[in-house]
Structure 1
Amino acid sequence: MNFSQWFSIKERNTNWSTEILAGVTTFLTMMYIVIVNPTMFAAGGMDFGGVYLATIAAVVIATLIMGIVANYPIAIGPGIGINAYLVYTVMRAGGVAWQSALGAALLASGLFIVLSLTSFREMLINSIPESLKMAMGAGIGLFVALIGLENGGLVVGSTSSLVTMGDVTKPTAALTIFGLFITMGLTVLRIKGAIFMGMVVTALVAWGLGELVLPEHFFSMPHGLEHTFLQLSFQEIHLLPMVIFTLLLVTLFDTTGTMLGIGRQAGLIKDGKFPHLKSALLADSIGSFCGAIFGTGPTSAYVESGTGVSAGGRTGFASVVTAVLFLLLIFCEPIAECVAAVPAITAPALILSGAFMVESLVDIDWRDSTEAFPAFFTIVGMPLTFSIANGVGMGIITYALLKLVSGQGKTVHPLLYLLAILFASQIYYQ
């Protein structure tokens, strides 16, 4: 087999060393997910070690498919925003057992696989106006940032208002602020892997202050997967149709948007077309499906892949390199769990991940009230109701109504009206 031809090395004007560097760069920039994702699911009652291995499994499987089959330098891993919804809205606020939440994730990813093989995927994507798609991303960003601020002790509940400023003199809040400024500084200086490096520096400071207790052994054989592997339940599925729909909808838009963005950056989109898009979407949906089986939530294409593309990555071999490096992390669970035990280390990663997602707001036409108001309610609805589903529903309902009132009802896709009715009934009866 000619691997050079398989990965189109010459056709895409690259070489093996450049692709290896790109794969390593992407790995370093998204490595934080193996700590942040298990930490979130542990808050929902799941075993940290099991979710840690499930996270790695989802990344490796999906990213290998993306690299070998679709031949794109795009890494895939559990999405922070959608998994925060699964943990904090569905499991914790909704009181749904994590086994049932994973069951919902499995069904949603199964539907995603089917949609990736049909034309309905394009129709669903096209039915949502661009302003709402961008608002969804920004709203999820605020939702994730709120979770990070809460975990880091920077915002707390209040008797006089929903939230208020936390006590910044406490160790957790002070460390979170330190980690935030370190990570933002590294980002401004364009240091590769700024989020991960910020976590390392914060962890060292926490250790020096006695807040972080190091484990006896930094490395160990993989263990804990028996607590999460195939631990699915469908007993509460009849209560979760909107959860399944939200998982499907958000994952679909998040993944497609990221893939198109990275594809443009890498110069892989020709004449407005994304070659092998179906294979790329299949990689993500299969990753979500396998992730649910192993014990984590939906996966998404990672915007951090753009750092690998900036380093010269143009082929799927960069993704193969990233996947192999993640596989080596299966022996590092003790140090990951020890770091996750200090919220101030992971909180800045959540906060700044949310900040990056708000970038899309600049492209919304705020002068058009029929576009601006729905976008606004989508954005504020997610963090203020602590639910991505509510924010999406508020935006879609508002958009459909305002377009009708303004005489622009025919410009709205019929499927959007159906979605508005479904969300309205869900909000009314919840």
Structure 2
Amino acid sequence: MDKFFKMKQNKTNIRTEFVAGVTTFLTMVYIIVVNPAILSAAGVPFDQVFMATVISAVIGTLCMALFANYPIAIAPGMGLNAYFASVVATQGLSYQIVFGTVFLAGIIFILLSLTKLRETLIGAIPPALKFGITSGIGLFIAFLGLRMSGIVVPNEANIVGFGDLHEPMTLLTIAGLFITLILYVWNIRGALFLGMLATGIISFFTGHLQFEGFMSAPPSPVFFDMDIGGVFSNSLYTVVFAFLLVTMFDTTGTLIGVAEQAGFMKNGNLPRAKSALLADATATTVGSMFGTSPSTAYVESTSGVAAGGRTGFTSVVVACLFALSIFFTPIIGAIADIPAITAPVLIIVGCFMMHGLARIDWKSFDEAFPAFAIILTMPLTSSIATGISIGFITYPLLKLVSGKGKDVHWILYVFGVIFVLQMIFFPAH
């Protein structure tokens, strides 16, 4: 064990790695509740999403452990699941077709991870667009949590308005939000999970949370419930690209962030980056086959690194704990029916994703406006793809007319034209 994971070389041991694995799992276990709750609202059977979430997390995290030897966990990504649900809702598509887009994005991601084209694509997209995309998704997620819980409601005067504080679910959400915020500010490990647990306990005593059992046999997984042909017949190329782009940036950014914290970066480069990216791409592809949205490396992995995790054994522990969770579906299903338990997590994770705003050059208008346009349009149009499209159109255009056209990679011009054509001839509805 020590030799395979190079524990002595990384100045760690099995006990430390085990504690780190448990810590990481506690900070991200909310996904096995939140992900099925979001996708089941789009019509996907809850049990199918639950099993797909666990399967993709186990496979992706084990691949990260065994081939990249990093203490980084993988699971279906927040934001990507909300985008999945919005595509189903706004475009009137079956979830099987949208799973087809996820599958194709996963295959392309695998191919890109095997070539140098991935580095070219990532290097071509300027920081302003990368941070704008991440921040826009953050607002998108937070708005979803506010809407789910009734904190914001439809309002004829201004589209949305403040909800009714006399509603029990809204009050529960606000209570859960403040409990979770306090735990997080106190640097309590697993604050997101413990906040959900505290809200669940309150819900139980108020009579809103009711269990019909605690343990059960795992649901039967559903395999290849998708319609790839529908992707082409509905011209969902922007959706495929959106899944690919966000997953690629999310994973790359997380890998670099966790690697820097753990001291893995060597002269600005990440060793075994190809294996790490392949782990995520594999999880996304396999997850789509069983019924979930794209997977990504989890920034919550930094909690495990902070607890001393330095090798893939931390990830093995996380994968094993995810596998054990399949025997507790009655508890998880009951929790998912209470928006107040999951909404605070969405709101807080949305805040986490805003950190890139500080790195945008707001004094340069041709940098600032495309990022602003992305951040503005994603939550207001309920479409991550639309936000990405507008960013890719406005950035090269503003650079070109300001005499800085040569500073823009040719790939951005190509995608800018593609997105213009997409929005004219194949607009999202």
Paired residue type of 1:270: K
Q: 2:297 aligns with which of 297, 301, 314?
A: 301
Contact 1:50 1:229 in 2 (8 A): no
Q: Give the TM-score normalised by the residue count of structure 2.
A: 0.98
- Alignment-derived partner of residue 355 in structure 1: 351
- Alignment-derived partner of residue 318 in structure 1: 314
The answer as to 2:261 corresponding to 1:265 is yes
Shift of 1:146: 0.7
Q: Secondary structure at the match of 1:77?
A: strand
Q: Distance in 2 between matches of 1:131 and 1:13?
A: 37
- Alignment-derived partner of residue 58 in structure 2: 60
- Alignment-derived partner of residue 405 in structure 1: 401
Alignment gaps of 5+ in structure 2: none
- Alignment-derived partner of residue 254 in structure 1: 250
Q: 2:183 aligns with which of 175, 186, 205?
A: 186
Shift of 1:395: 1.3
Q: Distance in 2 between matches of 1:428 and 1:384?
A: 19
Shift of 1:234: 2.1
CA deviations over 1:311-350 (Å, ceiling 9, x no partner): 0111111000110011100101110000111111111111
Q: Distance in 1 between matches of 2:165 and 2:367?
A: 38
Shift of 1:80: 1.0
- Range moving further from structure 2, 100-109 or 3-12: 3-12
Q: Secondary structure at the match of 2:79?
A: helix
- Alignment-derived partner of residue 194 in structure 2: 197
Q: 1:220 aligns with which of 188, 212, 216?
A: 216
Q: Give the TM-score normalised by the residue count of structure 1.
A: 0.97
Shift of 1:224: 4.3
Q: Secondary structure at the match of 1:220?
A: coil
Q: 1:149 aligns with which of 146, 162, 169?
A: 146
The answer as to 2:374 corresponding to 1:381 is no
Q: Distance in 2 between matches of 1:273 and 1:302?
A: 20
Paired residue type of 2:244: L
Shift of 1:172: 1.1
Alignment gaps of 5+ in structure 1: none
The answer as to 2:224 corresponding to 1:230 is yes
Q: Distance in 2 between matches of 1:168 and 1:422?
A: 46
Q: Distance in 2 between matches of 1:47 and 1:334?
A: 14
Q: Distance in 2 between matches of 1:6 and 1:272?
A: 25
Contact 1:152 1:343 in 2 (8 A): yes
Shift of 1:16: 1.2
Shift of 1:160: 1.5
Paired residue type of 2:328: C
- Alignment-derived partner of residue 121 in structure 2: 124
How do 1:50-199 and structure 2 match up within 5 A?
50-88=48-86, 90-199=87-196
Aligned-residue CA RMSD (Å) = 0.9
Shift of 1:251: 0.6
CA deviations over 1:189-236 (Å, ceiling 9, x no partner): 011111111111111111111111122x100010142xx422111231
Paired residue type of 2:258: I
Percent same amino acid among aligned pairs? 49
The answer as to 2:6 corresponding to 1:8 is yes
Q: Distance in 1 between matches of 2:167 and 2:399?
A: 49
Q: Distance in 2 between matches of 1:371 and 1:120?
A: 24
Q: Secondary structure at the match of 2:216?
A: coil
Contact 1:47 1:224 in 2 (8 A): no
The answer as to 2:302 corresponding to 1:285 is no
Q: Distance in 2 between matches of 1:45 and 1:175?
A: 26
CA deviations over 1:39-93 (Å, ceiling 9, x no partner): 01100111111111110000000000001110000000000111110112x1111
Q: Distance in 2 between matches of 1:105 and 1:204?
A: 36
